[in-house]
Chain A
Amino acid sequence: MTASGVERAVTYAVLALFSVLALAPIAVIVLTAMHPPGALLTGVELPHSVSLATFRSAWDAGGFGRLMASSVLVSASVVALTTALCIPAGYAFGTMRFPGATPIFYVMLAGMVVPFESLIVPLYYTFRDAGLTDTYWALILPQTGLSISFGTFWMRAFFRSVPVELADAARVDGASSWRVLWRVLVPIGRPAILTMVVLVFMWTWNEFLLALVMISDQSHRTAPLGLSTFQSRYGVDVPSVSAAAVLVAAPVVVVYLLTQRQFLRGMLAGSIRG
Chain B
Amino acid sequence: MSSSPVAITFEGVVKRFGPVTAVDGLTLDIAGGEFMVLVGPSGCGKTTALRLLAGLEAVSAGRITIGGREVQGLPPRRRDVAMVFQDYALYPQMTVYRNLAFGLESRKVPRAEVRAQVEQAARRLELDGLLDRKPRELSGGQRQRVALGRALVRHPQAFLMDEPLSNLDAKLRVDMRAEIAALQRETGVTTLFVTHDQVEAMTMGDRIAVMRAGVLEQVDTPDRVYAEPANVFVAGFIGSPAMAFCELTARRQGDRFCLGNGALQLEVGVEEVPETVTVGLRPEHVRPWSAEAGMAGPFEGVVDSVEVLGRETFLGVRAGEGVRLTARLEGSARHELGERLRFGVERGTAHLFDTQSGAALAHSV
**Which residue numbers of A lie inside 8 Å of B, CB to CB?**
163, 165-166, 168-176, 179, 183-184, 187-188
Stretch at the interface among B88-96, B196-204, B340-348, B356-364: B88-96
Across-interface contacts of B123 in A (CB, < 8 A): none
B56 within 8 A of A: yes
Check A165 against B85 for contact (C-beta < 8 Å).
Answer: yes
> Who on chain B is nearest to A171 by CB?
B76
Check B102 against A172 for contact (C-beta < 8 Å).
Answer: no
Q: Given A174-B77, A175-B102, A176-B77, is A168 in contact with B107 using a C-beta cutoff of 8 Å?
A: no
**Residue in B85, B87, B93 whose CB lies within 8 Å of A187:** B93
Complex Cα distance A238/B107, Å? 65
B253 within 8 A of A: no
Across-interface contacts of A175 in B (CB, < 8 A): 77, 102, 106
Known: A169-B85, A173-B106, A188-B92; 13 extra A-B contacts, CB below 8 A, are A163-B89, A168-B83, A169-B83, A169-B89, A169-B150, A170-B91, A170-B102, A171-B56, A171-B75, A172-B81, A173-B154, A174-B107, A174-B154
**Complex interface residues of chain B between 112 and 152 (CB less than 8 A to chain A):** 150
**Residue in A166, A171, A188 whose CB lies within 8 Å of B77:** A171
Q: Given A168-B56, A168-B85, is A174 in contact with B103 using a C-beta cutoff of 8 Å?
A: yes
B235 within 8 A of A: no
Check A179 against B91 for contact (C-beta < 8 Å).
Answer: no
Check B91 against A166 for contact (C-beta < 8 Å).
Answer: yes
Ranked 3 nearest A-B pairs via Cβ: A174-B106, A165-B89, A173-B103
What is the minimal beta-carbon distance from A204 to any residue of chain B, in angstroms?
A: 29
> Who on chain B is nearest to A169 by CB?
B89
Check A172 against B83 for contact (C-beta < 8 Å).
Answer: yes
B82 within 8 A of A: yes
Complex Cα distance A268/B68, Å? 49
What is the minimal beta-carbon distance from A118 to any residue of chain B, in angstroms?
A: 39
Complex Cα distance A176/B107, Å? 10
> Who on chain A is nearest to B87 by CB?
A165
Across-interface contacts of B102 in A (CB, < 8 A): 170, 173, 175, 183
B54 within 8 A of A: yes
Across-interface contacts of A183 in B (CB, < 8 A): 102
Complex Cα distance A171/B80, Å? 11
Across-interface contacts of A171 in B (CB, < 8 A): 55-56, 75-77
Q: Given A163-B87, A165-B85, A165-B87, is A172 in contact with B92 using a C-beta cutoff of 8 Å?
A: no
Check B107 against A172 for contact (C-beta < 8 Å).
Answer: no
Complex Cα distance A133/B85, Å? 55
Across-interface contacts of A187 in B (CB, < 8 A): 93
Complex Cα distance A25/B234, Å? 73
Across-interface contacts of A179 in B (CB, < 8 A): 106
> Who on chain B is nearest to A189 by CB?
B93
10 residue pairs bridging A and B, Cβ less than 8 Å apart: A165-B87, A168-B85, A171-B56, A171-B76, A172-B56, A172-B83, A173-B102, A173-B150, A176-B77, A188-B92
What is the minimal beta-carbon distance from A83 to any residue of chain B, in angstroms?
A: 19
> Who on chain B is nearest to A97 by CB?
B58
**Complex interface residues of chain B between 44 and 82 (CB less than 8 A to chain A):** 51, 54-56, 75-77, 79, 81-82
Q: Given A179-B106, A188-B92, A188-B93, is A172 in contact with B87 using a C-beta cutoff of 8 Å?
A: no
Across-interface contacts of A174 in B (CB, < 8 A): 76-77, 103, 106-107, 154
Complex Cα distance A172/B75, Å? 9
Complex Cα distance A232/B147, Å? 66
Complex Cα distance A187/B55, Å? 25
What is the minimal beta-carbon distance from B192 to any residue of chain A, in angstroms?
A: 13
What is the minimal beta-carbon distance from A140 to any residue of chain B, in angstroms?
A: 32
Complex Cα distance A175/B99, Å? 13
What is the minimal beta-carbon distance from B333 to any residue of chain A, in angstroms?
A: 46
Between B81, B93, B150, the greatest number of chain A beta carbons within 10 A of the residue's beta carbon is seen for: B93
What is the minimal beta-carbon distance from A271 to any residue of chain B, in angstroms?
A: 19
Check B82 against A172 for contact (C-beta < 8 Å).
Answer: yes
What is the minimal beta-carbon distance from A263 to any residue of chain B, in angstroms?
A: 19
Complex Cα distance A168/B79, Å? 13
Across-interface contacts of A168 in B (CB, < 8 A): 51, 54, 56, 76, 83, 85, 89
What is the minimal beta-carbon distance from B36 to any residue of chain A, in angstroms?
A: 18
What is the minimal beta-carbon distance from A89 to any residue of chain B, in angstroms?
A: 21
